[in-house]
Structure 1
Amino acid sequence: MTVLVTGGAGFLGHPLVRRLAGLGERVVSFDRLTRGSLPPSVTEVVGDITDGARLEHVLRTYGVTEVVHAAAVVGVTASVAGLPTAVHVNVDGAVALFEAVCRVGGVRRVVDLSSEETYGHFAGDPIGEDDPALPVSPYGITKYAVERLGAYYADQHGLPYAAVRLCWVYGPGFPRRRLPHPWLQDAAAGRASRLAQGGDQRIDFTYVDDAIDGILLVAQAERLGHRAYNVATGHAVDMRELAAEITKLRPDWRVDLGDGPIEMAPGVAAARKGALDITRARALGYTPRVPLSEGLARILADLEARHPLTQGSNP
Structure 2
Amino acid sequence: MTGGAGFLGRPLVRALAERGKRVLSLDRRVPEADPIPGVTGIEGDVTDSGGIERLLREHAVDEIVHAAAIVGVTASVAGLADTVRVNIDGSVALFEAVTRAGGVRRLVDLSSEEVYGHFAADPVAEDTPALPVSPYGITKYAVERLGGYYADQHELPYVAARLCWVYGPGFPRLRLPQPWLEDALAGRPSRLAAGGDHHIDLTYLDDVVDGILLVLRAGHLEHRAYNVATGSAVGIRDLAAEIARQHPGWSVDLGDGPIEMAPGVAAARKGALDITRARTLGYAPRFTLAEGLARTAAGLDAPARQAV
TM-score, scaled to structure 2 = 0.98
Give the CA deviation at 1:40. 3.6
- Secondary structure at the aligned position of 1:6 is classed as coil
Q: Separation in 1 of the partners of 2:232 and 2:200?
A: 8
Q: In the alignment, which residue of structure 1 is the partner of 2:304?
A: 310
One-letter code of the match for 1:127?
V
For the pair 1:193 / 2:190, whether they are aligned, the reply is yes
Q: In the alignment, which residue of structure 2 is the partner of 1:249?
A: 246
Q: Separation in 2 of the partners of 1:160 and 1:91?
A: 18
- Secondary structure at the aligned position of 2:82 is classed as helix
Structure 1 regions of 5+ residues with no counterpart?
none
For the pair 1:141 / 2:135, whether they are aligned, the reply is no
Q: In the alignment, which residue of structure 2 is the partner of 1:178?
A: 175
- Secondary structure at the aligned position of 1:260 is classed as coil
For the pair 1:23 / 2:19, whether they are aligned, the reply is yes
- Secondary structure at the aligned position of 2:299 is classed as helix
1:94-144 per-position Cα deviation (integer Å, ceiling 9, x unaligned): 000000000000000000000000000000000000001000000000000
Question: After TM superposition, which residue ranges in structure 1, 4 or more long, deviate above 4 angstroms?
Answer: none
Give the CA deviation at 1:311. 2.5
Q: In the alignment, which residue of structure 2 is the partner of 1:288?
A: 285
Q: Separation in 2 of the partners of 1:191 and 1:40?
A: 39
One-letter code of the match for 2:217?
Q
Identity %: 70
**Contact kept in structure 2, 1:18 and 1:38, CA below 8 Å:** no
1:198-246 per-position Cα deviation (integer Å, ceiling 9, x unaligned): 0011010000100000000000001100000000000001110000110
More off after superposition, 32-41 vs 212-221: 32-41
Q: Separation in 1 of the partners of 2:37 and 2:15?
A: 13
Give the CA deviation at 1:312. 2.1
Q: In the alignment, which residue of structure 2 is the partner of 1:13?
A: 9
One-letter code of the match for 2:25?
S
1:83 to 80, 85, 89: 80
Give the CA deviation at 1:268. 0.4
1:290-314 per-position Cα deviation (integer Å, ceiling 9, x unaligned): 11101111121222xx3x3322212
Q: Separation in 1 of the partners of 2:41 and 2:299?
A: 26
Once the two structures are superposed, the pairs formed by residues 1-315 of structure 1 within 5 Å of their partners are 5-36=1-32, 37-303=34-300, 306=301, 308-314=302-308
Q: Separation in 2 of the partners of 1:10 and 1:39?
A: 14
Q: Separation in 2 of the partners of 1:228 and 1:214?
A: 12
One-letter code of the match for 1:115?
S
TM-score, scaled to structure 1 = 0.96
- Secondary structure at the aligned position of 1:229 is classed as strand
Count of aligned positions: 307
- Secondary structure at the aligned position of 2:176 is classed as coil
Q: Separation in 2 of the partners of 1:274 and 1:18?
A: 31
Q: Separation in 1 of the partners of 2:176 and 2:100?
A: 41
Q: Separation in 1 of the partners of 2:49 and 2:66?
A: 14
